[in-house]
Amino acid sequence: MSNQKIALVTGATSGIGLEIAGGLIRQGFTVLGVGRRQSALNQIQEQFPEHFVPQLADLSDLEQVKALAKSYPFERLDVLIHNAGGANGSRQVGPQGFELTWVVNYLSPFLLTKLLEPQLRKSSSARIIHLASTAHYHGKLDWGNLQAERGYFILKAYAQSKLAQVMHTLYLSKKWNASKDPKIYAVHPGVVKTHIGSKNSAGWMGAIWNAITLFKGISVQEGADNSLWLSTLPEDQLPASGSYFHRRKITKPSAAARNEADTTRLFQETEELLERFLL
């Protein structure tokens, strides 16, 4: 285990996450895969009994995110992939009262990164990968309404959460030392044939989402490519930390994501919001 790379992949039981987990294992990694269904985790472990470590956790519950980090079984972590995500047709809240899209797409990855930072720093070439989205280009932070208590709309909530994810990536890349600290990236996997939006969206919105993925969607293999590529690049070939990728090409994030005053404010407000989970 000492020389074997270790990765943690959220949302590892289906879609892009499953493809990433399998791809990393085939390239010699041990993968701690996080999912909400024990039966699905068990099936993957049966397929990769020596290299897949199942971890049951619901990332809509921040207490479970904290427990996940506390129970992490290895001394170091080489790759942390925030793949789990969601979108909801109507406003829903998690156990702590936070809006679910905001929790799963932004707060949980933020908290998990913070809690696993000591293990990441023990790796000689640690990297963190957010599966973001071009939806962030349409996102806008509604500072007085980040929990979407007023005027909830699925696409607005999703775009805001993905914008926050990219902003988190850019903030940490500037805060951390470029040569010594973990590298952090955001990738757009493409419009992939998964059920991220339609499974929680009834009626016409779910139908539209299904139509888009059916006619424009790429395969999960294509969607996983950016993440697998960045996870396995030799350290001396890694792009600059904070880079945003689409199809292995660095792409400029939105102007909103690059607003340093806003990224600093968001980071500070999020730390204050999550303070009780960091103790």
Which of 72, 106, 152, 158 is flagged as catalytic?
A: 158
- Which residues make beta-bridge pairs with 79? 7, 127
Enumerate residues 6+ apart whose C-beta is below 8 A from 134: 188, 246
CA separation for the pair 32, 149 (Å, rounded): 35
244 is catalytic: no
What are residue 256's phi and psi, to 5 degrees? Answer: -65, -40
CA separation for the pair 191, 194 (Å, rounded): 9
Q: Can you say whether residue 223 is alpha, beta or left, with left for phi > 0 and alpha for psi between -120 and 50 degrees?
A: alpha
CA separation for the pair 29, 78 (Å, rounded): 10
On whether the CB atoms of residues 246 and 187 are closer than 8 A, the answer is yes
First to last CA, the chain: 30
The catalytic residues are 158
